[in-house]
Amino acid sequence: MTYIAKPKFHHPGLKKNELGYTHRDYEGKISTLCAGCGHDSITASIIEACYELSIEPHRVAKISGIGCSSKTPDYFLGNSHGFNSVHGRMPSVLTGANLANRNLIYLGVSGDGDSASIGFGQFAHSIRRGVNMTYIVENNGVYGLTKGQFSATADRGSKSKKGVTNTDNAIDLVAIALQLGATFVARSFSGDKSQLVPLIAAAIGHKGASFIDVISPCIAFNNHAGSTKSFDYVREHNDAVNRLDVLVGRDPIAVDYAPGTVQMVEQHDGSRIALRKIDADYDPHDRLGAMTFLQKHAAKGQIVTGLLYVDPDAEDLHEHLNTVETPLNTLEADTLCPGSAALDKFNASLR
């Protein structure tokens, strides 16, 4: 917690994006989380990704539940739409908002308690419905706001700050998301922005349910020896399958890649993802392979990160439901409510 506002001055040489904004223009209020919280790095990564994509802040709706993670939408995109919902209900609110106005970019921000415990069902259904959103879980393995009890994503055998060993099995949200049909699935680490920022940018460009599980050490309650979500542990066990660059619009590919090491993925919004393979055998288009890979490495104690699965041809909920293209709030009253004649006709068709 910091008592002064972040100074308005910025570096005089800051680059501006296509809209003429610097990355500072994508900030929100100053964070009230504990100093060093991994969530703040995720906040910074979201800011960076939105800046790089030249997103107009008013085109974003950021929706969250309850918890440390769910506070963070206050700290980025201060000029966007926001909804801080009930605990675990972010996916439902987001789904509703998305159905009403499909033209906004939906950022669902949640935590391991919000998504793997109280909102587990909500999480599951929004994923299986293919809501067009970027669902980010800021995963620290503990309930930080209530002083560090194990959450549902805490690994079995990991130790709490007080030395208690966790005896419950962990929920791997990435594995569940893959199983439930998410069309963009990634895992990353708050301490690795070079991986996280392009992942968020790519997820925003993906049309369909994008899910990113970000391991985010809780400095106050889960950054000790024996924790499997500490900075040291994640750095030691991080097994990145790939790194990526998001290429938007006219930007040429800045780096020369060795042939055969890069896989290009076309996105719905016209952007492209250049996937630099680290694990040569890893195929991010193979859902089954990804799930097996994940389980195998988890058994060895490794944390697989990177873009784990992507379906470039994904469909979203609106396509499944064949909804109207126009957002409901811009439809005229007579379209929204065509009158009793139309109702009679409709009722007749069901008789």
Partner 1 sequence: MKPTDIAAPDYFHKVVDCQWACPAHTPVPEYIRLIAQGRYSDAYMINWKSNVFPGILGRTCDRPCEPACRRGRVEETPVAICRLKRVAADFKDDIRQRLPKPSPRNGKRIALVGGGPASLTVARDLAPLGYHCTVFDADPEAGGMMRSQIPKFRLPNSVIDEETGYILGLGVEFKGGHRIESMQALLAEKYDAIFVGSGAPRGRELEIPGRKEAAANIHIGIDWLSSVSFGHTDKIGKRVIVLGGGNTAMDCCRTARRLGGEDVKVIVRSGFEEMKASPWEKEDAIHEDIPILNFLVPVAFIHAGGKLTGITFQKVKAEYDAKGRRNLVPSGEPDQTFACDDVLVAVGQENAFPWIERDCGIEFDKWNMPKVDPKTFVSTNPKVFFGGDAAFGPKNIIWAVAQGHDAALSIHKMLSGEDINERPLPEVHVSSQKMGIHEWSYDNDISNDKRFKVPHRDKVIALKDIRAEVELGYDVKLALGEAERCLNCDVETVFSTSLCIECDACVDICPMDCITFTENGEEADLRQRLKAPSPRPDQDLYVSSDLKTGRVMVKDEDVCLHCGLCAERCPTGAWDMQKYFIEMTYAGSSCPTKSRSAA
Q: Under the rule (CB under 8 A), what is the footprint of partner 1?
A: 1-15, 24, 30-31, 34-38, 40-41, 43-44, 190-191, 193, 217, 219, 223, 231-232, 235
Rank residues 34 and 86 by Cβ distance to partner 1 and give the closer one.
34
Cα–Cα nearest to 155, from 245, 69, 229: 229
Find the shortest distance in angstroms from Cβ 194 to partner 1.
Answer: 10
Rank residues 5 and 280 by Cβ distance to partner 1 and give the closer one.
5
Alpha helices in the chain (DSSP H): 38-52, 68-71, 90-100, 112-116, 120-129, 173-179, 193-205, 231-237, 287-299, 317-321, 333-336, 340-349
Find the shortest distance in angstroms from Cβ 2 to partner 1.
Answer: 5
Give me the half-sphere count of Cα atoms (radius 13 Å) on the Cβ side of residue 258: 4
Q: Residue 157: which region, alpha, beta or left (left: phi > 0; alpha: psi -120 to 50)?
A: left
Rank residues 2 and 167 by Cβ distance to partner 1 and give the closer one.
2
The three-class DSSP label of residue 239 is strand
Find the shortest distance in angstroms from Cβ 152 to partner 1.
Answer: 24
Q: Please state, in angstroms and rounded to a whole number, the distance separating the CA atoms of residues 340 and 251.
A: 53
Distances, alpha carbon 204 to alpha carbons 42, 53, 100, 268, 286, in Å: 15, 9, 19, 10, 21
Rank residues 9 and 332 by Cβ distance to partner 1 and give the closer one.
9
Find the shortest distance in angstroms from Cβ 5 to partner 1.
Answer: 8
Find the shortest distance in angstroms from Cβ 271 to partner 1.
Answer: 24
Rank residues 7 and 259 by Cβ distance to partner 1 and give the closer one.
7
